[in-house]
Amino acid sequence: MPELPEVETVRRGLAPVMEGQVIARATLNRPDLRWPFPPGMAERLTGARVLALRRRSKYLLADLDRGETLLVHLGMSGRMLVSGALVGQFVHDHPAPEKHDHVILDMAGGARITFNDPRRFGAMDLMETASAEAHPLLARIGPEPLGNGFHEGHLAARLAGRRTSVKAALLDQRIVAGLGNIYVCEALYRAGISPRRQAGNLGPRRIARLVPAIRDVLTDAIAAGGSSLRDYRQADGELGYFQHAFDVYGREGAPCRTAACEARITRIVQSARSSFYCPRCQR
């Protein structure tokens, strides 16, 4: 599932062709994705101007001039691809329709945004912009890890007394927004913290290393266009490249990248998810 860097990369790719533009026509090719679309969604989107395109955790939020906000979640395999407009250095012609093109937004400026989702685990909803933060999918999400609300004091307070592993705690969207399995593994490696360590026992020094490690790994991943492991694509259809810089994720049995460390990357299963770490560098 796309994590914060992938969704932020998609947002940045869509913003130039959506922000300030009118949705000339919205086409829904089915009644639902993971859940049914809201009533009259095509009519409510058609003719609306996109005032701003934001991201909250792993969700895209398009604020409209009609006082509503379109919420988009990419799910496991969702892609939002741009055609008919300059994205990066290329203009892609409108492609032939595909089986899993479920939502199409034709913008007045000539661009087309196609939401393609073979597995249909994605989601879309419309909500009042003024109360968007109270939406059930957003209401309990913690601070953005790249924002001012995420700092050592916040993390220490939220982890205090927790007996779960630090790996599981960081995946809890109520503690910090947008982190998933890949970037938690990478951040814990950079901070030198074992994913096995109990969250409530990190201590100030480890927390002081962990907060900037989370920020740095996310920033590096966004700069690389995210990580493409299966279905993820940027808005122009290109792959992300951060997977080539993974220190631990997916590298079971490979040598640790830390200089003079002779250990090999270990894989364990925590809460039905794979955790990758160096047993010598991460304590």
Q: Is 58 a catalytic residue?
A: yes
Structure tokens at 184: 């938690």
Q: Is 2 a catalytic residue?
A: yes
Which listed residue (44, 49, 120, 273) is catalytic? 273
Which listed residue (11, 55, 56, 58) is catalytic? 58
Q: Is 273 a catalytic residue?
A: yes
203 Cβ neighbours under 8 A, 6+ residues apart: none
Which listed residue (3, 8, 68, 186) is catalytic? 3
Q: Catalytic positions, please?
A: 2-3, 58, 273
